[in-house]
Amino acid sequence: MITEHLIVFSVPGLRPGDINRDATPTLHAWANQGVLAELTPTFPCVTSPVQASMWCGTPPREHGVIGNGFYHRARNEVEFWVARNDVIAGEQVWDAMSQRRPQCTSAIWHAQNIKGAAADYIVTPAPIHNDDGSTDLWCYSKPDGLYAELIDELGHFPLQHYWGPLANIESTRWILKGASWLIEKHQPNLHWVYLPHLDYAAQKFGPNSAEAMVSLAELDHELRTFSETLMESRLENKVAFLVTGEYALTEVSESIYPNRLLRDAGLLAIRKANDHEYIDLKNCQAFAVVDHQFAHVYVNPADAQTIAKVVDVLRQAPGIDGVFAGEDRKQVGLDHPRSGEIVIVADPARWFTYYWWLHDDAAPPFARTVDIHNKPGYDPLELFFDPVTKSIPLDASLVKGSHGVPATQRKHQTAMICSMSSTAIESGQFYRDTDVKRITLDLLGMV
């Protein structure tokens, strides 16, 4: 079977075992009438690379998205949550659609790296940061004026509920209402929708916690509301759903501090300002850009002797499961020019934090704030908020769930659900995220 309209929900943290009649009746019903399969994410198992792998049908060594953040060597700058689509190399699913069936349209809702993509309709958060430190709510949209129309219908996107200590179902509810509005008005043939809700509780409390189970039920309820609304629209039964998990979170009990290890070895340079310590990227012999359970380590000068010295430091550190330098990076598929000279992987029960200071009094001010752009590494502690200090704590032991290591075990598998039967995907089979592009096009009859 093929469908005229396909809605893809990209859901981090969704596991095959989460799908059952009691906890997720909506997802369970879709799986029963169609397909439930297991999906293996390509390393690194974090949002931006996995989404790019789904769109391109190729792994990070080809499409170039080697993490949620990049170190720009020419600019000597770390940039996390790069929103631009031009960082992705290769044909994406919307490009393929326009080539194979030009009259068909596509939409992307709140996914990463989509500014400037070839899809016909795009909405993604793009807050405006003012000189006085305040932030204005806004979203990038294509075509121009699309977000302004959404504001008239739904109000501003609730950015404060999308990430950070106030993250909750409100952001997902807005995303789904916006998607319903677009589908009713423009009826795109493909609508790719990012729903990050399961990430929050799983990182704060653990993927098997009571809070995580509540999040699962909340997401399923919103999907039911969305599908009921859709069935009352002009599309009626002309639509199918494809739910693709991005990765599975696992429980963690400890954190590792690669930059402190490099500092202790005399390889990390620090500059001081107003009693605070900042990493001096330009003068570092080595520093780590951490991203959940893996990190890119950049070495300067990138000669064999210096790299060997850094490798020796990292291999002796407890909790680091893998150290891949130079050609060895091919073993984990990160032999790309954007990658660090060394890639490290944590023990699955641990995660990497970006901290370089040895005493909390020396931490830079942004460490205690929700500041996803200035931190040279991913920081899950932004999900926590201390009402007493009115700041983010620096206690890495608070984090109970993480992801990112190579998906070599069953517990690292995520779920894929299709609401209709099709030869494009079979129940009980194993697929990779790089298969999703082909499956998407097949479901739309474009293979």
pLDDT digits (tens, 9 = 90+) for 106-161: 999 999 999 999 999 999 998 876 666 567 789 999 999 999 999 999 999 999 99
pLDDT score recorded for residue 104: 97
Average pLDDT over residues 42-53: 98
Q: Which of 50-59, 187-196, 267-276, 367-376 has the lowest mean pLDDT?
A: 367-376
Tokens found for residue 147: 């977000």
Residue 260: CA count within 13 A, CB half-sphere: 14
Closest CA to 298 of 256, 321, 266, 267: 267
Identify the CATH homologous superfamily for domain 254-399. Domain 2, Phosphonoacetate Hydrolase (3.30.1360.110)
Q: Where does the pLDDT of residue 385 fall: very low under 50, low under 70, confident under 90, or very high at 90 and above?
A: confident
Task: Please give the pLDDT value at position 394.
Answer: 96
The tens digit of pLDDT for each residue in 198-225 reads 999 999 999 999 999 999 999 999 999 9
Write down the pLDDT at residue 1: 80
Tell me the pLDDT band of 282, cut-offs 50, 70 and 90. very high
CA distance 349 to 198: 19
Tell me the residue ranges of DSSP E strands in 20-171: 35-40, 69-72, 77-80, 106-109, 121-125, 128-129, 135-136, 139-142
CA 426/CA 431 separation, integer angstroms? 10
Rounded Cα distance, 221 and 27, in Å: 10
Q: Which helix (H) or strand (E) holds 190?
A: strand 190-194
| H/E run at residue 445 | none
Separation of alpha carbons 65 and 300, rounded Å: 22
- Average pLDDT score over residue span 417-445: 95
Tell me how far apart the alpha carbons of residues 95 and 114 are, in angstroms, rounded to a whole number. Answer: 13
**Mean pLDDT for the stretch of residues 359-377:** 92
- pTM of the predicted model as reported, rounded to 2 decimal places: 0.96
Query: Residue 385: exposed, middle, or buried by beta-carbon count in 10 A (0-12, 13-18, 19+)?
Result: middle
Residue 132: per-residue pLDDT: 64
Q: For residue range 400-429, what is the model confidence (pLDDT) as tens digits? A: 999 999 999 999 999 999 999 998 999 888
Give the closest residue to 218 by CA, choosing from 258, 171, 276: 171
Nearest to 272, CA basis, from 198, 358, 344, 339: 358
More confident residue, 246 or 428: 246
1-44: per-residue pLDDT in tens?
899 999 999 999 999 999 999 999 999 999 999 999 999 999 99
Query: What pLDDT, on the 0 to 100 scale, is given for residue 134?
Result: 67
Integer CA distances (angstroms), 128 to 138, 171, 338, 391, in order: 7, 18, 28, 22
Neighbour count for residue 143 (Cβ, 10 Å): 9
**What 3-state DSSP class applies to 400?**
coil
Q: Could you give the CA distance from residue 161 to residue 197 in angstroms, rounded to a whole number?
A: 10
Nearby residues of 7 by Cβ (< 8 Å), 6 or more positions away: 179, 183, 191, 193, 230, 239, 240, 241, 242
Domain ranges within the chain, ordered by starting residue: 5-251+407-443, 254-399
At 159-181, the pLDDT tens digits run 999 988 999 999 999 999 999 99
Q: Which CATH number fits domain 5-251+407-443: 3.90.470.20, 3.40.190.10, 3.40.630.30, 3.40.720.10?
A: 3.40.720.10
3-state secondary structure of 375: coil
* Among candidate residues 31, 4, 19, 6, the one with its CA nearest the CA of residue 427: 31
**Phi, psi dihedral angles at 306 (to 5 degrees):** -70, -45
